[in-house]
Structure 1
Amino acid sequence: MSGGDFLRRMPSSSWNLRRQQNIWVRLHIDLPLLLLLLVSMVFGLVVLYSASGGDWHYVKRQTIFFLLGFALMFAVAQVNLPFLERWSWAAYFVGLGLLAAVLFVGVGAKGAQRWLSLGGFRFQPSEIMKLAVPLMIAAYLSKRLLPPKFKYIVVALLLALAPAFLILKQPDLGTALLIAMSGLVVLFFAGLPWRYIITALILVAASAWPAWHFVLHDYQRTRILTLLNPEADKLGAGWNIIQSKTAIGSGGWLGKGWLNGTQSQLDFLPESHTDFIIAVLAEEFGMRGFLCLLLLYSLILARGLSIAVLSQQTFSRLVAGSISFTLFVYIFVNIGMVSGLLPVVGVPLPFFSHGGTALLTLMISCGLLMAVATEHKRVGLN
């Protein structure tokens, strides 16, 4: 082959490669994140089938929510980020209004009033705030000089604590803490000085005693005491943790095999298809299955953080960073809860636990990540 022929072929090959890459960019799809989510969906449905005792109802329902979630993810990925930044306040205050409505006309279940019912469809407004709070705070701080001044930090804290207070009244301490954390994460990525972080940790430690006596409900104090000594009430408050740790430990390295877990299949493990589904995974797939799950989560988190680092705008960088770190918090809390390292707070395992509203919120979050991921690439295509 002559040098001239080689030079004539290279531009065409390079153009075809760029064209193939641009298809995903023009569709506003981040291919690595999409592939990781598809793997999570398949793995999650396999574990859910076993955790539900072979009940196809749960699997079909979760599949429908996954498909709806992917549709919402693709739709959100098309949203123009400046538009999202301008209208983030609307989502925040609508969500705040819905949280206030829960206190008056909310639907109760298991001693808590956390849902609204509209046209026969029941949903948790607190799920909206998992996205609205970081979006609102990111939009607010992106218009200020960073790192933020003290007065801006105070405003951001109020924006995070207002919905957390309303959720705490439902009561739902776990979700309230997670939503407050999502706002604090945005502050952290905005360059919050360490002196404020250390001061906040000291204040939190100092407020432990009054919070125990005047803020926490009886069942919440019981959960903390159960964490310290679950054997004190083996057939009552300590039952969940004891059975969960038994399931995890009995799986060993290889596991007992799919559909062969004793704790879940014989109904010893409560909430096996929701909050405690990771115990089913560990029992049936063993430590190697658990490590595969951690690897999958690590790749998703790494992709989210890389999207944040590559982002060219302050707003999108704060949003991508907060979504990624908040996802890490959900994973950490659920694993810690199921393994007996943290109190039981009712946090589902992302992409695995059965539940429609939580799954849709996660998929919308991934849509925001895709919007940020293709943001800087689309500039070169226009």
Structure 2
Amino acid sequence: MARASVVPAGIARLPWGVLGLTLAIGSFGLVVLYSAAGGRMHPWALSQGIRFVVFLIAATFVSRVPERTWRSGALPAYGVLVVLLVVVEALGRVSGGSQRWISLGFFNLQPSELMKPAIVLAIARFYDMLPPSRTRVLASLLPAGLLIGVPAALIMLQPDLGTALMVSAGGVTIMFLAGVPLRLFGAAAIAMPIVGTLAFKFALHDYQRNRILIFLNPESDPRHAGYHITQSKIAIGSGGFWGKGFLNGSQSHLDYLPERHTDFALATMMEEWGFVGGCLLILGFMLIVRWGIRVGQRAQTRFARLAAAGLATTIFFYFAINMAMVMGLAPVVGVPLPLISFGGSAQMTVLLCIGILMSLDREGSRRNDSW
């Protein structure tokens, strides 16, 4: 009772365990970036820390948004982001051979990143509006397929294979959870080798095909196309069980490890913190995903159940794909490690997912209390 009289009810109801865990992972990410820069706050750790604080505060404000706002705004927000993806194709800023950003002066907006939670909310809203009896009807798959396929195709044009795959995976996950018949997923799995072969030959760029070929045999070109994954494996393996110790990573500090602060930040971390550090990081992310799944289980509406599970799965895809990529278990597709890798777009997206999950959790808790 004393706590309730001092702390406002809205603040007291926040999931402080999840916020604390998110803060711990984000802070550890700053430690990794500090080490990647050779023991300096510039050029990565300081700016990353400022963005992290801003986005984490924003997530707490997002948690105050009612569920009905997410439900009613899901499809309009999706439409706006599709328009922005078209704008990116026409006027977007080019960097590193890719055209993915809209320059806002003080910040470069990457609409494809925001599409990851937006596609989850849009497909959840579609199936929320659809009568449950229509979910298993074949004709109902076409609108959902278009909702997923249009942004995925626009993102592939940038080109950004990793983000296109994550957007597709997020939408398909909602379709699965909504009750689309398993036989259709089975048919898709059977057709996947044919579609994949055609995409490999006609849809992918040369560098994307090379990434897949190098994934299958990285030792075939260890000095060029296979250099990233080869050095990443060396860094992770040299860390051993306990790691070399903070600021003692030779692969990253001697510039053998490329992209040590972005896509391969996990390799930088595991060289210094070892297998134990990697396992603790995985545990932290899994606890966040577990909480997100439980938010869906507690939800009282179909939209909230689907959206919560989809957002939690989106966070899972982020760290699972990056970790598989860095360890050589998946092709290098440019998916960063959330809250660890340097960059504002992925950080913003993951904290937005957490903020929406807190909003759905607050709504579900309020309704449960009313019972």
Q: Smaller-chain TM-score range? A: over 0.9
Distance 2:128 2:220 in 1: 50
Find the counterpart in structure 2 of residue 77 from structure 1: 63
Judged with a 3 Å threshold, the aligned counterparts in structure 2 of structure 1 residues 238 and 24 are, in CA distance, closer, same or farther, namely farther
Q: TM-score, normalised by structure 1?
A: 0.92
- One of 354, 362, 369 as aligned partner of 1:374: 362
- One of 176, 186, 206 as aligned partner of 1:198: 186
Deviation at 1:367, TM superposition (A): 0.5
Structure 1 residues 109-137: Cα deviation after superposition (integer angstroms, max 9, x where no partner): 12111111123532211112112111111
Find the counterpart in structure 2 of residue 47 from structure 1: 32
- The aligned runs of 1:5-154 (5 Å cut-off) are 16=1, 19=4, 23=8, 25=10, 29-57=14-42, 58-146=44-132, 148=135, 149-154=137-142
Deviation at 1:152, TM superposition (A): 2.2
Distance 2:148 2:339 in 1: 25
SS of equivalent to 1:307: helix
- Aligned residue pairs total 367
Structure 1 residues 319-370: Cα deviation after superposition (integer angstroms, max 9, x where no partner): 1100111211111110111011111000000111111111011111100110
Deviation at 1:294, TM superposition (A): 1.3
Judged with a 3 Å threshold, the aligned counterparts in structure 2 of structure 1 residues 226 and 62 are, in CA distance, closer, same or farther, namely same
**Corresponding position: 1:328 with 2:327:** no
- One of 276, 281, 294 as aligned partner of 2:264: 276
Q: Which amino acid aligns with 2:250?
A: T
* Structure 2: gaps spanning 5 or more residues: none
Deviation at 1:28, TM superposition (A): 5.4
Q: Is the 8 A contact 1:48 1:354 kept in 2?
A: yes
SS of equivalent to 2:14: coil
Q: Which amino acid aligns with 2:305?
A: R
Distance 1:96 1:27 in 2: 37
SS of equivalent to 2:101: strand
Q: What stretches of structure 1 move > 6 A for 4+ residues in a row? A: none
Q: TM-score, normalised by structure 2?
A: 0.94
Q: Is the 8 A contact 2:241 2:275 kept in 1?
A: yes
Deviation at 1:378, TM superposition (A): 2.0
Distance 2:179 2:114 in 1: 26
Q: Which amino acid aligns with 2:27?
A: V
Deviation at 1:180, TM superposition (A): 1.0
Q: Is the 8 A contact 1:28 1:370 kept in 2?
A: no
Distance 2:345 2:197 in 1: 34
Identical residues among aligned pairs (%): 42
Higher mean C-alpha deviation, range 247-256 or range 30-39: 30-39
Distance 2:7 2:121 in 1: 28
Q: Is the 8 A contact 1:129 1:179 kept in 2?
A: yes
Q: Which amino acid aligns with 1:304?
A: G
Find the counterpart in structure 2 of residue 349 from structure 1: 337
SS of equivalent to 1:260: coil
Q: Which amino acid aligns with 1:97?
A: V
Q: Is the 8 A contact 2:112 2:155 kept in 1?
A: yes
Q: Which amino acid aligns with 1:167?
A: I
Distance 1:90 1:71 in 2: 25
Judged with a 3 Å threshold, the aligned counterparts in structure 2 of structure 1 residues 28 and 69 are, in CA distance, closer, same or farther, namely farther
Distance 1:32 1:244 in 2: 33
Question: Aligned-pair RMSD on alpha carbons?
Answer: 1.9
Find the counterpart in structure 2 of residue 257 from structure 1: 245
* Structure 1: gaps spanning 5 or more residues: 1-15
Point out the structure with max Rg over C-alpha.
1
Q: Which amino acid aligns with 2:201?
A: H
Q: Is the 8 A contact 2:263 2:322 kept in 1?
A: yes
Judged with a 3 Å threshold, the aligned counterparts in structure 2 of structure 1 residues 156 and 28 are, in CA distance, closer, same or farther, namely farther
Find the counterpart in structure 2 of residue 209 from structure 1: 197
Deviation at 1:31, TM superposition (A): 2.0
Higher mean C-alpha deviation, range 19-28 or range 199-208: 19-28
Q: Is the 8 A contact 1:333 1:347 kept in 2?
A: yes
Deviation at 1:52, TM superposition (A): 2.6
**Corresponding position: 1:229 with 2:217:** yes
Judged with a 3 Å threshold, the aligned counterparts in structure 2 of structure 1 residues 376 and 209 are, in CA distance, closer, same or farther, namely closer
Structure 1 residues 180-237: Cα deviation after superposition (integer angstroms, max 9, x where no partner): 1111111111122111111111121221221121111110110011111212212111
Find the counterpart in structure 2 of residue 174 from structure 1: 162
Structure 1 residues 54-96: Cα deviation after superposition (integer angstroms, max 9, x where no partner): 2312111011111111121011111111122111122111100
Structure 1 residues 13-59: Cα deviation after superposition (integer angstroms, max 9, x where no partner): xxx28948995556652222112111112211111211232231211
Distance 2:339 2:211 in 1: 25
